Amino acid sequence: MLERVDFREAQREAFRADVVAGLTATRKTLPSRWLYDDRGSALFEEITQLPEYYPTRTETAILRTHAAEMAAFCGARAVLIEYGAGAGVKTEILLGALESPALYVPVDIAGDFLVDAAERIERRFPYIEIRPVVADFTADFDLPADLPRLPPRVAFFPGSTIGNLAPPDAAEFLKRMRAHVGPQGKAIVGVDLRKDLGVLLPAYDDAAGVTAAFNLNLLERANRELGADFDLAAFAHEARWNEAKSAVEMHLVSRRAQTVRVDGRAVRFEAGETIHTEDSRKYDVDGFSRLAQTAGWSVAREWLDPDRRFAVLGLA
């Protein structure tokens, strides 16, 4: 219990430091990882069901269609390490297809989330051994020393979350995955692909306003946790394409000139000035392949949907 309180307090202090640094910078920014408090995670769940948000539906369909080939790629009795324990149905598709998987290792920073995920998998696959690991997978961490190296380990990172990392961080992450699974190991990674802006932008600015609420929740979180006084009606959600970065950027645009109090300081906004809150990078398979190579991987298999919107890549 004490550990949980300490964790929450440490998170709040880290949030405070990022908010102060991000809002006092010349170009205001807030790291996207703070989007996911309880309310943000619930809103993200809603986003995944929206008609405009194609990635979740498309990736799930790819996994369903090609599960048997993916299982063959993983090999018999694989040890599956999942980074982020929230994939739910996607995890179940892969685990269900694997030939008597030896072990499932979900890794997540949120202990409660991990317990829920482990219990769900245990109910569905009582024959699979589960070894949850509490860790922030965006930073360096070690897997338990007694985790078997054989049968081969397979890293699973669905959801195109790799697209939310800047390329150097994505390369670091892929290197960490490589170190975790070892030279015989493999990985299955979900990657969202470049596409028509007519499809891409509505996925990040839906008609029902759920993505807007998800983005604005960052300001609500700052009000709740840090006692800031953001007037939510004075900011608008915007999704814009940045071709140089090949990314959809999310911004919160100040609707007027205003001053907000945050952690005892006055933060000035000009009308139209923005807080940049997220990048969602879109790759093509070649571009991702080059990135993966810098981290010691090569793309061994590609599974795409018929409209080539999303790729699930097998790395070896």
277 binds ligand AVI per the rule CB under 6 A: no
60 binds ligand AVI per the rule CB under 6 A: no
204 binds ligand AVI per the rule CB under 6 A: yes
The one among 211, 217, 254, 274 contacting ligand AVI by CB under 6 A = 211
Q: How far is the CB of 190 from ligand AVI (least distance, A)?
A: 8
Of the pair 60, 164, the CB lying nearest ligand AVI is at 164
Which range in 19-27, 154-162, 224-232, 303-311 contacts ligand AVI by CB under 6 A? 154-162
3-state SS, 111-163, equals: HHHHHHHHHHHHHHCCCCEECCEECCCCCCCCCCCCCCCCCCEEEEECCCHHH
Q: How far is the CB of 211 from ligand AVI (least distance, A)?
A: 5
The one among 114, 278, 311, 315 contacting ligand AVI by CB under 6 A = 278
Of the pair 79, 292, the CB lying nearest ligand AVI is at 292
Q: How far is the CB of 159 from ligand AVI (least distance, A)?
A: 5
Residue at shortest CB range from ligand AVI: 280
Which range in 91-99, 102-110, 142-150, 157-165 contacts ligand AVI by CB under 6 A? 157-165
Per rule CB under 6 A, count of chain residues that contact ligand AVI: 11
Which range in 82-90, 92-100, 141-149, 153-161 contacts ligand AVI by CB under 6 A? 153-161
- Tell me which residues in 8-47 interact with ligand AVI (CB under 6 A): 47
The one among 58, 60, 91, 160 contacting ligand AVI by CB under 6 A = 160
The one among 86, 163, 185, 314 contacting ligand AVI by CB under 6 A = 163
Rounded Cα gap, residues 91 and 157, in angstroms: 10
274 binds ligand AVI per the rule CB under 6 A: no
161 binds ligand AVI per the rule CB under 6 A: yes
Binding site for ligand AVI (CB under 6 A): 47, 55, 159-161, 163-164, 204, 211, 278, 280
